[in-house]
Structure 1
């Protein structure tokens, strides 16, 4: 069994990005810029945004966080996004989810200029992803693909079971794997007999937010197991996979924390750098 070390790989990617940012500044006097919109007081959201701001600083990006109260109106958020769309120094715009229930999140995400949609949630970018065209792919699934590449795991021809069908993780994950010529099986809350799907898979990718969902009897010997879940149990961060038991059967497995999580932020930086490079070309 080999651990897929996302923490180590994310550091390597950040070093590469830092070097490219220095080159951009020297050659073109351009500093990649990321704007984050943070609404409300959700502790997890605040933690994620702090981590993203810290990562931006590490690689030399310009970043700004627009903190807004829970009671903010739809119009005010839309106003801010429009300003960011027009700001030539901002290459990427990120809206930290979830948003309060009175805000139409779909409308907010669709308002972001596709060329600045570094989270890859805009229908335009999602459509291009489905078609296998160059685009901004959502950061977590993209991070999984980078991890597989780093460890020379080629999804081509593999039977892959993706557990979870969210727009942020499950659906784009399935699309990226399909584009890599894997045979993809997508499971969700209404799937009958989940074990019958996971048990025959060469690779299981899970991201639903249910601690210990995938147990050892649900995976075959030698399976590759990618755990995207993040849960808090008795003060500890754990994934959706029973790591201790499943790791005894898996050929490769991601830990939680230290697996896919750090890769998500690394891919956000990579997407923002990509957007900044496109600014030079335009």
Structure 2
């Protein structure tokens, strides 16, 4: 697996594909945590009901605009064949802003479809900012998004009593990569969350033993884009690892995505 540098390119070989990984832009929950200092006491803004399915902050909206300019400048908008997004609002707003903004519509006749998928959402449980609104509401606000792969209208995966642990996130991330590999598209953008993206890459490196540069294993900044190439040999190793561990989905709702 390699970090892809330089200009994006369309892949001609079915033996590998390129993933463009994007963390959502700054959300209002990020601002609240920065102002509070990220404490874990009873005043932790993570638990504020006002942050339910947190949207982007004004700074986040600006970050999306800046990333969109880079996408257009690089020509990536014309090579990406599919965009997968977490269904949480901050990710959806980032995906739509980057790949469906007015400048994109004006400058490209070939923008990719955007599909929401529960499998790549943020670490679930406890915090209202990580609990999504209903899909019926989301469809009205974001008609550009295909929500047909989200099975439950209400958030059936979020747990009030406990937060999904990092091992569960890692396992989900590896299942997500397997799902991506089985897609027909060769260049795919993924708009997700910092913990999910980092844990997925770390699991590849530390659990599956696929070499990755140290720069790929650090926490993503808001609206940061990183590119990786996965090939057939990587997926063979991942498949062997999954068979050995006999990993099972954490939810029956996710099982159907495998």
Greater C-alpha Rg: 1
**TM-score normalised by length of structure 1:** 0.33
| Structure ranking higher on relative contact order (CA contacts 8 Å, 6+ apart) | 2
**TM-score normalised by length of structure 2:** 0.35
